Amino acid sequence: MAGSAFDRTPEQDALIEGWTPPGVDVSRAHSARMYDYYLGGKTNFPADRAAAEKVLAAFPSLRTGAQENRAFLLRLVRHLAGLGITQFLDIGTGIPIEGRNTHDAAQDVAPHSRVVYVDNDPIVLAHARALLTGHPSGATAYIDADVHNPESILDHPALESTLDLSRPVAVLLLAVLHFVPDEHKPTEILTRLTDRLPSGSYLGLSHVTGDFDPVSWERIVDTYRQSGIPGQARSREEFAALVPAGWEILDPGVEIISQWQPDNPDAELPDPALVSAYGLLARKL
Ligand SMILES: C[S@@+](CC[C@H](N)C(=O)[O-])C[C@H]1O[C@@H](n2cnc3c(N)ncnc32)[C@H](O)[C@@H]1O
């Protein structure tokens, strides 16, 4: 039944489009809804669209980056499922996208896969509750929490009842850590998040970079900050340095996300400057 909950009628779509979940501040732009807008989703509001259009004006190819990021997420999850991983902790989930979520990819390979989603955006929560169902032989859960407080995730009853932390878990933070600036100590956050996991666990990350187009990325980061969303692009070295001690980065290393184990290595891949995001997979020693 993975994916079947996404089969909405046009009437349901219209309702969702015009619907503002209670308690959700739609007057300010939010990164999840801006990302949804880049991906062509419908869960975004005028403030999100205005901020996203400003960013797209500075960097029209940002849509390519968003699409490539989602494709990287799905390749990474299928790769991990192929390695026998059946437990996933997906932090900074984003708004669900029909058939293109972590549990869809994992349960395609292993239907009994178990996925815990975490995000701090109330609108993601509102949609996740209704949509993140998954295969009956597996399990999905959703935790409304902030990555800055790893213990609120690890000690959450939904995590305890869904994942067995004595067995390897794949922790995914895709396109999230650029919202955690250096002053918030992202490596310390990752250490606290993964300390309790056994050896053989995995850490999958992706992150925007200004390495290929520094001028545009300075403007993009500024535009996000002006919309009240702190963030920072990181260089290849800065990104690799986020990985805590005790983890090894696996082949192919830190790579442009579109070039990380592409489905079809013969297909023409987008210019790295259009993608401007790195990805990596690390394994706990
Ligand atoms: C660009 S989206 C990425 C979605 C998905 N991981 C992907 O790669 O397609 C970033 C997500 O991270 C979430 N996020 C940002 N800061 C966060 C935080 N401090 N704690 C939890 N989630 C956060 C946002 O709400 C948003 O849903």
Q: What is the DSSP string of 221-252?
A: HHHHHHTT-------HHHHHTTSPTTEEEPTT
What pLDDT was estimated at residue 19?
56
CA dist., res. 222 & res. 215, Å (int): 11
The CATH number of residue 161's host domain is: 3.40.50.150
pLDDT at 3 over 70: no
The answer to whether residue 183 sits within a structural domain is yes
Please report, for residues 73, 97, 108, 178, 239, the alpha-carbon distance to residue 253 in angstroms, rounded to integers and kept in the order given.
16, 28, 26, 19, 11
Grouping H, G, I as helix, E, B as strand and the rest as coil, residue 215 is helix
Q: From the CB of 35, is ligand 1 less than 6 Å away?
A: yes
Cα of 117 from ligand 1 centre, angstroms: 11
Query: Which of 4-8, 29-33, 223-227 is predicted least confidently?
Result: 4-8
127-171 residue pLDDT tens:
876 556 778 899 999 999 999 999 999 999 999 999 999 999 999
Cα of 56 from ligand 1 centre, angstroms: 19
Is residue 95 within 8 A of residue 32, CB to CB? The reply is yes
Tell me the residue type at 110: A
Query: Which of 22-26, 62-66, 112-116, 153-157 is predicted least confidently?
Result: 22-26
Nearest to 256 by CA among 216, 213, 193: 213
Cα of 173 from ligand 1 centre, angstroms: 8
**Overall average pLDDT of the 115-132 stretch:** 82
The answer to whether residue 59 sits within a structural domain is no
The answer to whether residue 223 sits within a structural domain is no
Give the nearest ligand 1 atom to 35 CA.
1
Give the nearest ligand 1 atom to 92 CA.
12
Cα of 161 from ligand 1 centre, angstroms: 23
What pLDDT was estimated at residue 125?
87
227-241 residue pLDDT tens:
888 899 999 999 999
Beta-bridged to residue 204, according to DSSP, are 172, 281
Grouping H, G, I as helix, E, B as strand and the rest as coil, residue 34 is helix
CA dist., res. 62 & res. 104, Å (int): 25
The answer to whether residue 19 sits within a structural domain is no
Give the nearest ligand 1 atom to 72 CA.
8
Q: From the CB of 70, is ligand 1 less than 6 Å away?
A: yes
Beta-bridged to residue 8, according to DSSP, are none
The answer to whether residue 111 sits within a structural domain is yes
Which residue lies with its CA nearest to atom 9 of ligand 1? Answer: 70
Which residue lies with its CA nearest to atom 8 of ligand 1? Answer: 174
Query: Which of 11-15, 144-148, 220-224 is predicted least confidently?
Result: 11-15
Give the nearest ligand 1 atom to 90 CA.
6
**Overall average pLDDT of the 103-111 stretch:** 96
The answer to whether residue 138 sits within a structural domain is yes
Cα of 121 from ligand 1 centre, angstroms: 8
Cα of 181 from ligand 1 centre, angstroms: 14
**How many domains is the chain built from?**
1
Cα of 209 from ligand 1 centre, angstroms: 16
Give the nearest ligand 1 atom to 146 CA.
20
The answer to whether residue 18 sits within a structural domain is no
What pLDDT was estimated at residue 11?
45
CA dist., res. 141 & res. 146, Å (int): 16
Predicted TM-score (pTM) of this structure: 0.90
Higher local confidence (pLDDT), 230 or 177? 177
Q: From the CB of 148, is ligand 1 less than 6 Å away?
A: yes
Please report, for residues 62, 92, 178, 229, 258, the alpha-carbon distance to residue 268 in angstroms, rounded to integers and kept in the order given.
18, 29, 27, 34, 10
Tell me the percentage of the chain whose pLDDT exceeds 70.
Answer: 91
Look up the domain containing 241 and give its range.
4-12+65-213+233-284
pLDDT at 1 over 80: no
Higher local confidence (pLDDT), 128 or 262? 262
The answer to whether residue 26 sits within a structural domain is no
